[in-house]
Amino acid sequence: MLKFITDLTDNLLDYVKDDPVRPDISREFRVSDNHFVSALVQDRPQAMVCVSLQDCIPATVEELLTHETENPTMAIFYTIWSYQSGAGSQLLRDTVSEIKQLFPNITRFVTLSPKTEMAEKFHLRNGARVFRENAETINYEYL
């Protein structure tokens, strides 16, 4: 089951402690205004992805954390992790599909990924293309 976490009191939010990519981003940021966590859940989370709805593509974590918009047009996936093989891919597909239904104004799906071989393999294997390489990150775009 796919679940969007938008409430600080949701017990599933406790699992963000396991975020291997951006553990320093606060729980409060992850579920505020245009930000939420998407989880693929059975008895417990199988995978989680953090999403920020924006009107521009951030090149840095600081840009992600400081830019706010009232009219987002893109979903920025800024961290993803899984507890079960294949669950991250499924979560990403399901989250994109749900965002398209819930937010018809969102027309682009882009990551703010670390420059790692693991991130590159994951995103390219799941159908993304490199949109832009930044000093410390790479933006992959899902078409």
Q: How many domains does the chain have?
A: 1
Using DSSP's 3-state secondary structure scheme, residue 122 falls into helix
d(CA 118, CA 114): 9
Per-residue pLDDT of the chain (143 residues; tens, 9 = 90+): 999 999 999 999 999 999 999 999 999 999 998 999 999 999 899 999 999 999 999 999 999 999 989 999 999 999 999 999 999 999 999 999 999 999 999 999 999 999 999 999 999 999 999 999 999 999 999 98
The H or E element that residue 117 is part of is helix 117-125
Using DSSP's 3-state secondary structure scheme, residue 36 falls into strand
d(CA 123, CA 129): 8
d(CA 125, CA 143): 13
At 70, which CATH number? Answer: 3.40.630.150
8 Å CB contact between 125 and 101: no
- Residue 86 gets the label, from left (phi > 0), alpha (psi -120 to 50) or beta, of left
Domain hosting 53: range is 2-142
pTM of the shown model: 0.96
